[in-house]
Amino acid sequence: MFGISIEETNTLIKAIYSHYQIDLSGYTLNHLRFRIRKILDKHFLNKTGILINRLIDDEVFFDDFLYDISGGSTEMFRDPDVWLILRNTILPSISEKSDLLTIWLPRCVSGDELFSIAILLEETGLMARSFIHASTLSYRSLEIISSGIFLKDKMEASINNYHGSGGMNNFNSYFHLKNNLIERETSLIKNARIKKQSLNLIGIPGLCDIILIRNQLLSFKQELKNNILNRVTGALQNGGYLILGEMESLKDCDISNQFSHIFTKEKIYLKTS
Amino acid sequence: MNLYALMIGGSAGSFHTVTGILKSLPVHTDFPVFLCLHRLKQLSMGFREVLQANSSLPVVEPEDKTRVCNGIVYLAPANYHMMIENDFRISLSTDEPIYHSRPSIDLCIASAADTYHKNMAGILLSGANRDGTKGFAELKRHNGLCIIQDPHDCEISTMCTSALTAVKPDKLLNTNQIIEFVSLLKK
């Protein structure tokens, strides 16, 4: 696809595994090849072989590659209905039952989901009682999230989403301008622990009330998706919520019978056993 | 030919042809149909239902990792790319739009061509941008059957004209010819 053969892709996977012990073979071939194409274009490289050499020679370049390979552009409050349910139903229900709210975002890339959930906690008055774990695959991602960087072309969609999700404040108040760039208020994530973590999420946090992993599993083959969901489920309390992307499901997954599908369209699952 | 999949890509001005194609597909169609259409985000509600009303085959917006089945029309969901993996599952993606388009026809057809090679047909219809050109070039490279709507017959010819600069189609057809061609398709 787009000039990247399956053989080249497999060579790259092997080279990265033998040098960094990071296994990218769980990505679907199309996601991987499409993103390799974009990475080659971005760096004006014409051959996968040259890319492989640079990846092996240069750890910073490799980290940058891990960020790009994670893919998945999003905006804040994507699928407003999900956030509306979180705001009006799920957060109030958990906060009645327990003093501390623990939330895990196992696959953060841009920070859009993290800042969205942080704004929700702020607006529902639960921030002081909450703790958010956020895991990233690359240091670059960690840096982008921690510094609050936000791409201006996501702003319009994000504002619309925010108001669709029941947000009543002036959305702009969560941002400021710095050197002509829009940045998010990092005070919003002062209760978040952002950590670089391996692809298969070894080292899960303690038991969580909510796990939000939306549209990040799209990149993976069924087998890795299944493994990640097994791991993630182990970190979720009984009575806790697992939230997937609107076009994802637990079909063909080992843990599907541990959940009841309480909001069908929004793919919000309640852990029952 | 041994047809194992049909893919249709369309954008502005293709709706009439798409419904014509869906109406003419036989009830016993024994291959999957992938439908990749650009649409406005705010029109996403009810679009599948409108297509379903014009189709004897089930029209579904597939969830991620759905296994491909024969006789089903898979409509790329609004705001996602749709790709066909070589294990015959559909994978979706929220990666950036390409040519301002998500779903991208290029990604859909190129991934399908990689899976079905010469045993598939692609039809490119009316549209206002250059999406589809790279994808149909890939389909041609795999010796798949390339059908492009005659730009003179397109409501908006940009998409087909662009594809014709890169691909010599196996068939250059107008709407009625496309509909007739589809009605005769068999595995």
- List pLDDT tens digits, range A75-89: 999 999 999 999 999
My answer on whether A90 and A61 are in the same domain is no
- Spell out where B25-124 has E strands: 33-37, 59-60, 66-67, 73-75, 81-84, 89-93, 120-124
Q: Answer yes or no: do A126 and A10 share one domain.
A: no
Q: Which of A70, A96, A111 is the last residue of a domain?
A: A70
Look at residue B81 in the predicted model and tell me its pLDDT: 95
As averages over each run of 10 residues, the pLDDT of chain A (273 residues) reads 88 96 94 94 92 95 94 87 97 92 93 96 94 94 93 91 95 89 92 86 82 95 94 94 96 94 95 92
Does A75 reside within a domain? no
Q: Which of B14, B38, B101, B153 is catalytic?
A: B38
Q: Is A158 on the interface with B (CB under 8 A)?
A: no
Spatial separation of the C-alpha atoms in residues A103 and A131, rounded to whole Å: 6
> Mean pLDDT in runs of 10 for chain B (187 residues)?
87 91 92 90 73 94 96 94 95 91 95 95 94 95 96 95 96 95 83
Domain check: are A58 and A123 in the same one?
no
Minimum CA–CA partner of B95 in chain A: A72
Cα angle B64, A223, A63; round to 5: 90
pLDDT of B41: 53
First to last CA, chain A: 43
Question: Both A115 and A59 in a single domain?
Answer: no
Give SS3 for A246. coil
Query: Residue A104 pairs with which residues in a beta bridge?
Result: A133, A211
Are the C-beta atoms of residues B77 and A247 closer than 8 Å to each other? yes
On whether both A197 and A254 belong to a single domain, the answer is yes
**Is A1 part of a structural domain of the chain?**
no
CA distance B47 to chain A (A): 16
Is residue A84 located within the same domain as residue A65?
Answer: no
- Is B90 in the A-facing interface, judged by CB distances under 8 Å? no
Q: Which residues contact B112 (CB under 8 A, 6 or more apart)?
A: B5, B7, B34, B83, B84, B120, B122, B139
In the listed set A42, A70, A98, which residue is the last one of a domain according to the structure?
A70
Is B91 an interface residue toward A (CB < 8 Å)? yes
Q: How far apart are the first and last CA of chain B?
A: 7
Please say whether the structural domain B5-183 has been given the CATH code 3.30.710.10.
no
CB B5 within 8 A of CB B34: yes
Whether A128 is in a domain gets the answer yes
**Burial class of residue B103 (count of CB atoms within 10 Å of its CB; 0-12, 13-18, 19+):** buried
Out of A24, A52, A70, pick the residue that ends a domain: A70
CATH of the domain at A217: 3.40.50.150
Could you give the CA distance from residue A34 to residue B51 in angstroms, rounded to a whole number? 29
Residue A205 lies in a domain: yes
Domain membership of residue A51 (yes or no) is: yes
For position B39, what pLDDT does the model report? Answer: 78
Contact with chain B for residue A107, Cβ under 8 A: no
Please state the domain extents for chain B: 5-183
Q: What is the pLDDT of residues A209-246, one digit of tens each?
A: 999 999 999 999 999 999 999 999 999 999 999 999 99
pLDDT of residue A205: 77
Q: Which run of H or of E encompasses A39? A: helix A29-42
**Over the stretch A34-57, which tens digit does the pLDDT of each residue have?**
999 999 999 999 899 999 999 999
Domain that holds residue A24: 6-70
Identify the pLDDT of residue A74: 82
CB contact under 8 A, B138 and A34: no
**Which residues lie closer than 8 Å to B23 by C-beta, 6 or more apart?**
B54, B55, B56, B179
Could you give the CA distance from residue A16 to residue B84 in angstroms, rounded to a whole number?
A: 25
Q: State whether the Cα torsion A160-A164-A166-A168 is positive or negative.
A: positive
For A22, the token pair is 């990071």
User: How far apart, in Å, are the Cα atoms of A183 and each of A24, A108, A177, A178, B150?
Assistant: 32, 17, 6, 7, 48
Residue A191: predicted pLDDT: 85
Interchain proximity B80–A222, CB inside 8 Å = no
| Cα A270 from chain centre | 20
My answer on whether A93 and A51 are in the same domain is: no
Same domain, yes or no, for A105 and A214? yes
Q: What is the pLDDT of residue A73?
A: 75
Domain count, chain A: 2
